[in-house]
Amino acid sequence: MNKIIAMVRKELLDAARDKRSVMAGLYYAIGTPLIMCGLFMVLIGQLTSPDDLKIRITNPDKAPDLVRFLSNKGITQGETGTKDLKAIELIISPDYAKQMNQGKGAEITIVADNSEEKLQNSIRRLEKQLQAYSAEMGSLRLIARGIDPRVVQPLKVNIHDQATTDSKGGMILGLAIFTMIYSVFISGMNLAIDTSAGERERNSLALLLSHPLTTRQLVLSKIIAVGLFAMLGLVLILLVSKVAYAFVPWQELGFSVNITSKFMALMLLVGIPVALMAACLQLFVSFMAKTFKEAQSYLTMVLFVPLALSMAASYNIAPEVLQWLPVSGQQQALMDFVKGKDLPLLQLLVSTLGTLAIALILAFGMEKSLKSEKVVFGL
């Protein structure tokens, strides 16, 4: 045990000397919550107080009531010479007033390029307000004929939403959980490559194996060192998220997002086996690569597997079998917890045991491969 502790200290000291490499792995844990909160704040600002939409209106004098209605909803005639005039145009038929007086369908035309992503929200906003005005005019026509407008609404649908403010916030936290789990894989990746393929390129791996140290002790020390960095990334992203998410005005959308101490404790507990699996996976792949750059390329592709599992769990597009698999199973259990549901202990236990089993298999694979001269010397 003393040898393993000494080796772990050696790995951590080597990592601490290369501060740029260490921080490159931790930038994700620090920066991701800040970027996400900034984007949420901008999005909430746009949803709660949308900017006035400037459009070009042809023949506005033919439908003054419609123009006034749109103006009250923040959709106005653009000024001559502005670029907004070329984006969306509303053409009112010259016979609009005549058609309305006769109780016919008055023709209006929206001219816009729906392939432009920046215009799609504005087009939908205009269409929604036109439909609202159309429904209002239809009700007035029925009233004028002595008909109750409710006649054309045979169903009165009442929606009773059982979601609480915390459970609604759980949908946002589901995305946050995805970034937290992925930080476990990102934070220790540089150290995993440096302590395996990097040491082999510096010819220090063979020197380590020449010491009175078993291959198993060497493998365990490297797994522990990389796992500690992975957990450090998880701790950082939890702390930054707890502070940053508190500044986002979630109440504007009618829910709250709280990163509680219980959630942080559960996240750290769940993150330990994930960190061990991530460390074993990254070290195993790096030892199989012959060069430092080759290890980086391989890991970039390999990390798509946990990324895909995590994304499938985040967006609820995964088949039920994934709730028993590593990464996706733990993430779904955490999402149930933050939504106020009962924690699925069996699902969490099975996915955790699967995670530890994969880590154990990879660790034995590394131990066996380091007994080969081809792997040690990169032949």
**For residue 92, what are the β-bridge partners?**
108
| The pLDDT of residue 81 | 43
Give me the pLDDT at residue 274, please: 92
Distance of CA 40 to the CA centre of its chain: 12
Alpha carbon distance 190, 25 (integer Å): 6
Please write the tens of the pLDDT for every residue from 279-312: 999 888 888 877 778 888 888 888 888 877 777 7
DSSP string, 258-324: ---HHHHHHHHHHHHHHHHHHHHHHHHHHHHSSSHHHHHHHHHHHTHHHHHHHHHHHTT-S-GGGGG
> Is 90 exceeded by the pLDDT of residue 56?
no
Region of residue 181 (left: phi > 0; alpha: psi -120 to 50; beta: else): alpha
Tell me the mean pLDDT in the region 25-38.
Answer: 84
Q: How many C-beta neighbours within 10 Å does residue 300 have?
A: 10
Chain segment 20-30, per-residue pLDDT in tens? 766 777 788 88
**Residue-level length of the chain:** 379
User: Running DSSP on this structure, what letter comes out for residue 367?
Assistant: H
